Amino acid sequence: MSGNKELVFKCDFDEYMDFGAYKARGGFKALREAMEAGPEKVIETLKNSRLRGRGGAAFPTGAKIEMVSKAKDKTRYIICNGDEGEPGTFKDRFIMTHLPFQLLEGIIISAYAAGAERGFIYVRHEYPEAQKELKRAIATVEAAGFLGENILGSGFSLKLEIFSGAGSYLCGEETALLSSMEGKKGRPRLKPPYPTVAGLWDKPTLINNVETLSNVPCITGKGAEWYRSIGTEDSHGTKLISLSGDVRKRGLYEIPFGTTFREIIYGFGGGPKDGREVKAVNIGGASGVLVPPEFLDTPLEYASCAKAGITIGSGAVFVLDDTREILDNVHNRVRFFLGESCGKCTPCREGLRQIDILMGKFREGTAVAEDIEKLERYTRVMQDAAFCGLGQAAGNSLISSLVHYRDEYIRGCALPETETKVREEALA
Ligand SMILES: Cc1cc2nc3c(=O)[nH]c(=O)nc-3n(C[C@H](O)[C@H](O)[C@H](O)COP(=O)(O)O)c2cc1C
Ligand code: SF4
């Protein structure tokens, strides 16, 4: 991972994987201080930092912890979401495998603030290395007295375990995740009630992403103001970017909010290979959008991206150069979602099936002009009526490609001779 030691992840230090080195650099000091300050102070600091969830929905983290802390039921859980199913995203794997102590400290501080005495790290089974390192780290931290019974003599205890997922993309969605942990089918539940009210086994549950929780120790340790000094007025702190596709230096980068996509792709990533140009950028993973190079000067921050119609999501940035076919890329995503749809609701189950057929026709060049309108209609229905975020976001790349690369769809139409002129005019 590339990064800057002044930021959140201190990823220049290889020795950060080592418990002794982590402690020597101030590790677990934030936990000690948090326990001296008390849960209310921790929550206040996190709220003031304006940290927002990094799992995709960007919900304010301090507010979420406060909701759990105020629940009447004293049996509460914390779950760290390490499912990381979004294609092109590999930030949580890096943290869990290489920076496990920072993550554990964040989980313990958050659990303490929420009053959750049992916790789980939900790790996808495709990440065996991460599971191994986390197990090792949990044992080490427990032996040092930072985890387990009566942590640092505070009276607060936390039992933390790894839960291995079974490889379903949908189980990253928090309520499907809960169902899968309870031994049920990994399908989403109706919200509300939200997990903060009725989560694991119907108890108040704090669910946060790996990257979100890893931000916690430096915020409570260095203060909300320090954190807010990184980034922009709108979006604070840093974001881990999984950069892949047609760039010279693919990798994981920690960038302050406000960095433009051009800086990410050309600065950090070194741009496309010689002689090639950026044709499109997919931002936010399979459920994100496809945008043309005109969008590269958009700063990566929540407000600017929302204005430009970009969803930051998990922070995946995937570059397509001018050798790539947009329709191939979009169809690939549609098939991914078709395979991962749980089939519970009609708009997603049937919509994706129909869109898959239509995309095949466009790629073969046998579509008709009305098929473009059908693609738009089916996607809108999914966005409006699908039961969960999978179906609601599955058409994002399709809709954005219809806006920015419509000519490629028109080329995929086998039009009668009378309409050929219309097509040529549209492409002119
Ligand atoms: C289909 C789908 C898949 C998701 N996958 C993940 C995931 O792999 N990891 C994750 O942290 N959040 C994922 N989420 C978001 C979670 O539901 C939830 O919002 C998040 O874990 C909350 O943590 P945060 O507030 O720290 O972002 C997914 C959401 C949807 C709709
Ligand atoms: S939107 Fe798709 S994944 Fe979500 S409940 Fe409906 S069928 Fe299942």
Is the peptide bond preceding residue 192 cis, with omega within 30 degrees of 0? Answer: yes
Q: Which of 36, 56, 156 is nearest to 107 (CA)?
A: 156
Distance CA 63, CA 104 (A): 21
Token readout for 247 is: 């760039």
**Size (the chain), residues:** 428
Helix axes 346-364, 369-385, angle to 10 degrees: 160
Residue 391 Cβ < 6 Å to ligand 2: yes
Residue nearest to atom 1 of ligand 2 (CA): 391
What DSSP character marks residue 125? T
Contacts of 26 (CB under 8 A, 6+ apart): 221
pLDDT, tens digit, for every residue of 43-81? 999 999 999 999 999 999 999 999 999 999 999 999 999
Q: Which of 344, 349, 353 to mutate to test the pocket of ligand 2 (most atoms within 8 A of CB)?
A: 344
**Alpha carbon of 246 to ligand 1 centroid (Å):** 27
**Alpha carbon of 397 to ligand 1 centroid (Å):** 19
Buried b (16+ CB within 10 A) or exposed e, 11-23: beeeebeebeebe
**Alpha carbon of 374 to ligand 2 centroid (Å):** 20
- pLDDT at site 415: 65
Residue 280 Cβ < 6 Å to ligand 1: no
The number of the ligand 2 atom at minimal distance from the alpha carbon of 188 is 5
Contacts of 155 (CB under 8 A, 6+ apart): none
**Is pLDDT of 41 > 70?**
yes
Average pLDDT over every residue of 286-291? 96
Helix axes 326-340, 396-404, angle to 10 degrees: 160
Residue 209 Cβ < 6 Å to ligand 1: yes
Phi/psi of residue 316, nearest 5 degrees: -85, 135
Residue 219 Cβ < 6 Å to ligand 2: no
pLDDT category of residue 422 using cuts at 50, 70 and 90: low
Average predicted confidence (pLDDT) for the chain: 94
Q: Quick check: 5 and 91 in contact, CB under 8 A? A: no
For the CA of 172, the nearest ligand: 1
Q: Which domains does the chain have, with CATH numbers?
A: 14-228 (3.40.50.11540), 238-321 (3.10.20.600), 326-427 (1.20.1440.230)
pLDDT category of residue 2 using cuts at 50, 70 and 90: very low
Residue nearest to atom 20 of ligand 1 (CA): 55
Buried b (16+ CB within 10 A) or exposed e, 319-346: bbbeeeebbebbbebbebbbebbbebbe
Distance CA 243, CA 304 (A): 20
Which residue carries 């239509």 as its tokens? 358
**Alpha carbon of 424 to ligand 1 centroid (Å):** 44
Contacts of 265 (CB under 8 A, 6+ apart): 243, 247, 271, 278, 281, 296, 317, 319
Average pLDDT over every residue of 351-357? 98
CA distance to 39, 46, 65, 206, 284, per residue, from 116 (Å): 11, 17, 10, 8, 31
Distance CA 57, CA 129 (A): 27
**Alpha carbon of 418 to ligand 1 centroid (Å):** 49
- pLDDT at site 4: 47
Phi/psi of residue 289, nearest 5 degrees: -105, 165
For the CA of 346, the nearest ligand: 2
Residue 344 Cβ < 6 Å to ligand 2: yes
Does residue 118 sit in helix, strand or coil? strand
* Cα-trace Rg, the chain: 23
Average pLDDT over every residue of 256-283? 98
pTM summary value:
0.95
pLDDT category of residue 418 using cuts at 50, 70 and 90: low
pLDDT, tens digit, for every residue of 137-168? 999 999 999 999 999 999 999 999 999 999 89
Distance CA 116, CA 14 (A): 32
Residue 84 Cβ < 6 Å to ligand 1: yes
Residue 16 Cβ < 6 Å to ligand 2: no
Distance CA 360, CA 344 (A): 24
Phi/psi of residue 236, nearest 5 degrees: -105, 150
Is the peptide bond preceding residue 193 cis, with omega within 30 degrees of 0? Answer: yes
**Alpha carbon of 346 to ligand 2 centroid (Å):** 8
- pLDDT at site 7: 87
